[in-house]
Chains A and B, each alone.
Chain A
Amino acid sequence: MDRKRLRLVGRRLVQFIPVIVLATFIVFGLMQLVPGDIAVTLAGESASTERIAEIRQLYGLDRPMLMQYGSWLWHALHGDLSRSILSGEPVLRMALERFPATLLMVVYALVLSLLIGIPMGILAATRPGSRLDGFVSGTASVGVAVPNFWLAMLLVASFALERPWFPATGSAPFGEDPLRALHFATLPAIALASGGIAEVARQLRSSLIEILGSQFVRTLRAKGLSSGQILWKHGLKNVSVNLLTVIGLLFNRLLGATVVIEAVFAIPGVGSTVVHSAINKDFPVIQGIVLAMVLIVIVVNLIVDVLYTVLDPRVNR
C-alpha cells in the first residue's frame, strides 16, 4: 500500500473514534429514554418495590446515566465488554457466538445479490426499452416492494414444508460443516437478497445506460470498437465506483435486515439477540453488539474507500 493510501486509512481510523463513541452513547441514551426497567424483569413476577430497588442497587442501575456509560466505556477500552445483566454471560463471548451465523447470511445474500443483480442490470442496460429491460425493471421493482419477511414465509412454505429441500428453521456452524451451513442459510439468504438483487440491477442499469450514452463511448464506437469491448473494457470499469458504493450500502442494510429474517427462521444471530436485549433493556449486550456492528460497518466502509482509490485514482488526489 502506498503512502497516500496509508494516510487515507490513518485519517479514516482517527475519524472513526468519535463515530464509535457517539454511536454507543446515542444508543445508551435512547435505552434510558425507552420505558421499562430491567430490574423489574430480574426481580420476577411478584417482586416488591424494595426487591426491585435492591436489584437496581445490586447491578448499579441506580447510578447516574453518565456514570453508567462512563463505566461501560472504560471497561470496553480495556477489552472488557461486561456481562449480560439477564444471563450473566460475557458479552464478548455472546457477540463472537452470534456473529458468524449473521455474517454468513449477510455475505451469502450479498453474493446472491451480485451474482443475479449484475447480469440483470447489464442485460437491461444493453437493451434499453426492450421487453427484456421491461421484465428486469419490473422484477426489480417487485424485489424492492416485497417485504423480505413475507417472501421468507413463502419460501419456507414452498421449499421447506411443501417440498422438504431446505430446513425451515435454525442454522449450522460454518466451521464444522460449510456445506451444511450453506444449506441452512440458503432460504434466509434468498429472502434477504431479494431487495439487494433489485437494487444492484436498478443501479447498474441506470449507471450503465448513462455511460453507454456518453460522448466518449460514441467516440469509441466511431473508432470501430465492438459493443462487447466497449461494455467490458470501458462501460463496467466506469460504473465500478457506483457499484462499489451500492455494495457498501447494501452490506450495511443487509446487516440491519437480519433482525426480521432471524425471527422468521429462528436463527440465533445478532439480530435476535439485539431484539431480545432491547425488549429487556439488557444494555451491556446492546452496547456490545452495537459496538461490534459499528466496527464492522466501519471496516466495510474503509475497504470501500480503499477500493475507490484503486478503481479511480482521482479519489486519492
Chain B
Amino acid sequence: MTTSRFPMTDAARRGAMTRGEHESGAPVDVSRRELISLLTGACVTGAVAGTGLSASGSALAQGAPRKGGVLKVSAPANPSSLDPATGGAGSDHAFLFTIFATLIEWDYATLKPQPGLAESWSYPDNKTLLLNLRNGVTFHDGTPFDAEAVKFNIERAKTSQRSNIKADLATVERVEILGPHQVALKLTQADSALPLILSDRAGMMVSPKAAQALGNEHDRKPVGAGPWKFVSWSDNQKIVVTRSEAYWKPGLPYLDGIEFAIIPELNTGLRSLIAKQNDFAYSLQPNQKQVIDRAKGLKSVVGSTLYCQQIYLNFGKGALADVRVRRALNHAVDRATYVKLTMAGLGEAAWMNLPSTHWAYDKSLANCWPHDPELARKLLAEAGHKDGLDLNLLGYTDQASVQRQEILIEQFRKAGVRARFSNGSIAEKSAQYFVEKQGDGLLSAWTGRPDPSLSYSLMYMKNAYFNASQTEASPELTAALLASRSLDDIEGRKRALAKVQKIVTDLALVIPLAFPPELVAMGPNVAGYKPSLLGKPKFDLISLTA
C-alpha cells in the first residue's frame, strides 16, 4: 500500500490549536485509500467547509470513518426536556441534535447558515422567507417530512402554551404552504436572522403525528428526523439513542447509537473516561486540560465558542448611566491576565460579544479596551468619582465564579473601583438582575445564539429581557440593529453588524471578559469530532475505530 506524507502547514497547525485536535506537529501518515475515502466522505457530508486543514489533518491521522459501535458519552446535565419547543436549557442541544434535524444547519467553524431540511431559501421580498424543503425525508415514526410538517411545527412553537421559543419566532406572522415541499414564512418585519434561528430549537422538526398523539409526553418520548432515534431516558441517569436508517444524509451517521450517562460532576465525568467506562466527555473546564494530557490514551479538542463571560451593566441607572464610568470599567479589566488565571490561558480575550473566528467579527475592534488603570481613574474623575466608585454587582456562588470575582475585584481596585458581589444561585441572581433590576451589574455569561443579530437584539434593544435598564441605549443602535436584520446578503450583514458592534463598544454597554474554550475529552478510539462555534457538540461525524 502506498503511503503519502502530509506535513501540516503553519496555518493548519494554528487552526488545529484553536479549533481542532491538539497535534504534536509531527507529519501525518495517511494511505492513499484513506485519503480518497476521507475526501469522498467529506463531499458526502458536505460539512468540511470552513474547518480547513486542521479538521482534515486530524481526521486523516485517525483514518477513514468506520461504521458501527456505540459511543458512550459523559453528559454534564440532565435535559430540561427532549422536546425542542418546551425545553429551556442551553445544555439540551447535545441531546436534541441527535434526535432532531433542523431546517437550516450551520458551518462548524463560522456558523454561517448551510442547507439542512431546507435545501435552499430566499427572500423574494423583505417580509417573506421562502423555504424549499428536501424531498423524501421521513420522521422516525414514518411520517413524511413536508410543508404541512413545517407549518405544524412553526405554528406549534408560536402558539403552544408550553412553548419556550415564541420569542424566537416573533417576526413570523404566518406560514403559507406553496407546494408539498415549499413554504413561505410571512413576516411582520424584515428579519434576516431567521435562517440561523431555524438552525436552533425553532428549526428542529418534530413529527406532527407524534406530537399530537403524545401531547406533553413528547417531552420524554421525542420523535424527530435526526441521525438517531430516541430509545430511552432514565432521568438524571441515562439517555440512549439508536441509528435511524432513514436519515437523509447518505452514509451518516457512523455510530450505531449513543449512550449518554448523566454525570453532573465534571471531574467524575472525566474520571469515567480515564477508567474507560465512557468514550467522550464535553463542556469540561479549562483546568481539566492538564488532567486529560496526563491521562494515558485520552485526546482533547479545544475549540472557540460564542459563550462569552461578561459583566452585564445596567446602563440606565446611577453612576453607570454615564458612559465615561462604563468605559473606565472596561479599561480597568486586564483580560489577558483574566484568561490566564481563570482558563489556564486556553480562552480568548473578549472585546465584543463575538469571538475572532466568527463570520461577523469586526477586526477593527480587537484590543479596543487596553488595560489601563490610570486612564480608568481619569475617566472616573471626569465623571465626578474622584474618590473612586462603589460598584454593587451580583454573581454566582460556584467556586469558578467566586474565583473570577476575586480577580476582578483586585483589577477594579487598582482603578479606584470598590466592587462588591452579592452571590446566590444562577436562577436567583439572574432573576434578581434581569427581572427585579437589582444591582449595578451581573457577572455572568452570554451563552450565544447562532445569529449575531439575535444576540445583540436580546441584550441591547429597548425592553429586551437581557437589557436590565429596559431603556434605549441610543436611537442609532436601534436603527443599526434593525438594519442588521433587514439585509440578507452575508457581506451586507457583516457591515451592518460591524456598525452595531462599534456602537455597543463606543457606548460600553457591557464588559466583555473572555470566551472560554470548548474542551472535549475523547478516548483513543473516537475519531472525527469537530467542535463548533456554538460550543454544543454534534455527533454526526464521529466514528469509532476498531
- Interface residue ranges, A against B (CB under 8 Å): 35-38, 40-49, 51-52, 54, 58, 84, 86-89, 94, 97, 156, 160-161, 164, 167-170, 263-266, 268, 272-273, 276, 279-281
Contacts and interface: CB of A to CB of B under 8 A. Distances in A.
A35 B447 CA distance: 23
Nearest to B466: A46
25 contacts: A36-B424, A36-B425, A36-B428, A41-B88, A44-B87, A44-B88, A44-B164, A45-B88, A47-B88, A51-B164, A58-B162, A87-B81, A87-B219, A94-B235, A156-B275, A168-B271, A169-B261, A169-B272, A170-B261, A170-B272, A170-B277, A263-B268, A266-B268, A276-B236, A281-B427
B286 to A, nearest CB: 20
A34 to B, nearest CB: 9
A88 B264 CA distance: 20
Contacts of A164: 275-276
B235 A41 contact: no
Contacts of A49: 435
A99 to B, nearest CB: 13
A273 B428 contact: no
B269 interface: yes
B275 A266 contact: no
Contacts of A268: 234, 236-238, 262
B22 to A, nearest CB: 22
B275 A169 contact: yes
Contacts of A272: 236, 264
Given A43-B164, A48-B167, A48-B465, A87 B220 contact: yes
A62 to B, nearest CB: 15
A53 to B, nearest CB: 10
A89 B220 contact: yes
Nearest to B432: A35
Nearest to B79: A87
A78 B164 CA distance: 33
Nearest to A101: B237
B263 A266 contact: yes
A60 to B, nearest CB: 14
Given A169-B275, A169-B277, A263-B268, 13 more contacts: A36-B427, A37-B431, A41-B88, A44-B80, A44-B164, A45-B89, A49-B435, A51-B164, A88-B219, A97-B234, A164-B275, A266-B262, A266-B269
Interface string B130-168: 000000000000000000000000000000011011110
Nearest to B276: A164
B175 interface: no
Nearest to B233: A87
Contacts of B342: none
A169 B164 contact: no
A169 B268 contact: yes
Contacts of A87: 78, 81, 219-220, 235
Interface size class of chain B, counting residues whose CB lies under 8 Å from the partner chain = 35 or more
A36 B430 CA distance: 9
Interface string B87-114: 1111000000000000000000000000
A264 B427 contact: no
Contacts of B262: 266, 268
Chain B contact residues: helix, strand, loop or mixed: loop
B268 A40 contact: no
Given A48-B465, A161-B271, A266-B268, A37 B235 contact: no
Contacts of A94: 235
Contacts of B90: 45
B458 interface: yes
Nearest to B162: A58
A263 B271 CA distance: 12
Interface in B423-455: 424-425, 427-428, 430-431, 435, 447
Contacts of B89: 44-45
A39 to B, nearest CB: 9
Interface centre among A35, A87, A264 (most CB of B within 10 A): A87
A272 B234 CA distance: 14
Contacts of A161: 271, 274-275
Given A37-B427, A44-B164, A87-B220, A266 B261 contact: yes
B277 A167 contact: yes
B268 A52 contact: no
Nearest to B278: A169
A42 B86 CA distance: 9
B88 A89 contact: no
Given A48-B167, A266-B272, A268-B262, A41 B465 contact: no
Contacts of A35: 424-425, 428
Contact of A41 (B161, B277, B427): B427
A169 B271 contact: yes
B216 interface: yes
B265 interface: yes
Nearest to B465: A46
Contacts of B424: 35-36
A86 B164 CA distance: 14
Nearest to B161: A58
Contact of B425 (A42, A43, A48, A279): A279
